[in-house]
Structure 1
Amino acid sequence: MGHSDLDPPPRERRAWNAGLIVGPKRPLKARDVWAIRFFLDEHRRLRDRALFDLAIDSKLRGCDIVKIRICDLFAGDSIRDRATVVQQKTGRPVQFELMTNARASLSAWLEQRRGRAGDYLFPSRVDYTGHLSTRQYARLVDEWVVAVGLNGAEYGTHSLRRTKASMIYKATGNLRAVQILLGHSKIENTVKYLGVDIDDALILAERTEI
């Protein structure tokens, strides 16, 4: 039998999110990015450093990052300055840049990983012909943030996707540019994703004088 809205709530019933931190995951700050890079370099984790740098620069969802193939980023032995990936969620292509740090770490990883052009860049440990799972990717992100002293409950794979986008928005205030980089179909989605609120809107308005 169901309960009436006017009935007192049962004492044993707890909210599903009781005691949990819910809501959007926080983006990393620049110092956090470098702290994680230092941690990964110190422990000589070539794959993880390449995966981390790619996640920051590409601004892709985890499901797209783990499925990237060698040929998506490399042309022969050379790494591309820019790459294009079709997003699994939207089916829309999104282009992203690969900066110096990402190109260096990706090249170092490929030299160790080797493989053919059509192989996944980050193979599964269980099935080497498959790709790293999104679940394992999430575990790695949690490990990285905790290792540098951050609260793992406040960060996740979307933290890496939001990091550079948030920095670009704060530096330029250009929502349209961030929308394109994130591959959002509507700018409203970008506003919600970045957490742009009324204060941000007023600051942007104050910068524009007619």
Structure 2
Amino acid sequence: MSDAPDSKLAWIDAYLAHLQRERQLSPHTCAAYARDLQALAALTGASAWPQLDHHAVRRLTAKLHAQELDPRSIARKLSSWRGFFRWLGEQMPLAANPVQGVRAPKRAKTLPRALSVDDAVQLVAPSRPAAGNGDDPAALCNRAMFELLYSSGLRVSELAGLDLTPSKQALGWVDLGNREVTVTGKGNKRRTVPVGAAALDALHAWLALRPAPTDGGDALFLSSRGTRVSPRVIQQRLRQHGVAHGAPVQVHPHMLRHSFASHVLQSSGDLRAVQEMLGHASISSTQVYTALDFQHLAEVYDKAHPRAKVK
């Protein structure tokens, strides 16, 4: 294959075929690589791939930053470009990987959004049923899912992956007798987390009316078709539930996870315990909730202390 400028897209196509065939990446991931590499081809114009050097990539990175592209998006592009040139160096002579050592601009650290204790409890608590809807399986399923998200700080994928009973194939399950839930989180690591009394009550109510899955599976939570509920459906149901119940912000499952972590830390001050329950590999990932905890204390101080407000 020629390395002339008009073959740049052909090299991209060959790399994408390699990702699909050899590395067996998903179509979604390959599509993301394609977008990033096509953007690089457009940014570099007529220059052939071997002509691109470290300084050119740094200039491109600065240009993307000047266009106010999110630092996370820039970091993803650099990762895609770096992998492409690593592979290209095996196909043709390159002086060096021009992306190696180039970093995206630092992104401002944003605190995760958590609900207040009152807002979280009102959101997941059982609402007064409308006439004839007290035994609606869909409403009971939703309540059990939302209570469990907040009770145990689960990721939405972990919630969707729960089975009714434990097995070698199961990603997770709820042990009602021991009041705990076992899930498989990031890095294929399993953890067991306590389940609160309100979530247990909601689970019992749901299981009393849970229909048999239409696919013959063992999924704990079901869609309207009787199959395992997907993370996307859980997100949609929680968002609609939040709007219907007047939540102060648009609610998503990870906000309930943040709320769980923040509220447990506020009450206990035990950062290590919160780390274990969230399944964080590093304590640094959990330390962000100390900032939320301080933020909560500062709000209490501002409201309560007679000298807090500037006159």
Q: CA deviation at 1:39?
A: 6.0
CA distance in 1, matches of 2:292, 2:174: 36
Matches within 5 A, 1:29-178: 29-38=116-125, 40-43=127-130, 44=134, 45-71=139-165, 72-74=173-175, 79-87=177-185, 89-115=186-212, 119-126=218-225, 128=226, 130-153=227-250, 155-178=251-274
Q: CA deviation at 1:103?
A: 0.9
Kindly indicate whether the alpha-carbon contact (under 8 Å) linking 1:69 and 1:119 is maintained by their aligned counterparts in 2: yes
Q: Confirm or deny that 1:196 pairs with 2:291.
A: yes
Gaps of 5+ in 1: 17-22, 204-210
TM-score normalized with structure 2 length: 0.51
**Aligned pair in 2 of structure 1 residues 148, 173: CA closer, same or farther (>3 Å)?**
same
Question: In the TM superposition, what whole-angstrom CA distance separates every residue of 1:106-127 from its partner, at most 9, and x where no partner exists?
Answer: 001001004489610112334x
State how many pairs are aligned.
186
Name the counterpart of 2:19: none
Q: Confirm or deny that 1:185 pairs with 2:252.
A: no
Name the counterpart of 2:114: 27
Q: CA deviation at 1:38?
A: 4.7
Q: CA deviation at 1:158?
A: 0.7
CA distance in 1, matches of 2:140, 2:116: 22
- Partner AA of 1:176 in structure 2: R
**Aligned pair in 2 of structure 1 residues 125, 25: CA closer, same or farther (>3 Å)?**
farther
Kindly indicate whether the alpha-carbon contact (under 8 Å) linking 1:68 and 1:121 is maintained by their aligned counterparts in 2: yes
- Higher percent of residues as helix: 2
CA distance in 1, matches of 2:293, 2:248: 27
Q: CA deviation at 1:161?
A: 1.0
Gaps of 5+ in 2: 1-41, 45-58, 71-109, 166-172, 299-311
Q: CA deviation at 1:55?
A: 0.7
Kindly indicate whether the alpha-carbon contact (under 8 Å) linking 1:56 and 1:161 is maintained by their aligned counterparts in 2: yes
3-state secondary structure, aligned to 1:73: strand
CA distance in 1, matches of 2:212, 2:187: 29
- Partner AA of 1:125 in structure 2: S
Kindly indicate whether the alpha-carbon contact (under 8 Å) linking 1:95 and 1:181 is maintained by their aligned counterparts in 2: yes
Question: In the TM superposition, what whole-angstrom CA distance separates every residue of 1:12-33 from its partner, at most 9, and x where no partner exists?
Answer: x8867xxxxxx55522222113
Query: Relative contact order (C-alpha < 8 Å, sep 6+): which is higher?
Result: 1
**Aligned pair in 2 of structure 1 residues 82, 197: CA closer, same or farther (>3 Å)?**
closer
- Partner AA of 1:34 in structure 2: V
**Aligned pair in 2 of structure 1 residues 147, 181: CA closer, same or farther (>3 Å)?**
same
TM-score normalized with structure 1 length: 0.73
Q: CA deviation at 1:152?
A: 4.2
> Taking every aligned residue pair, what percent have the same amino acid on both sides?
25
CA distance in 1, matches of 2:127, 2:111: 25
- Give the structure with higher Rg (CA): 2
CA distance in 2, matches of 1:28, 1:158: 11
CA distance in 1, matches of 2:188, 2:116: 30
- Partner AA of 1:73 in structure 2: V
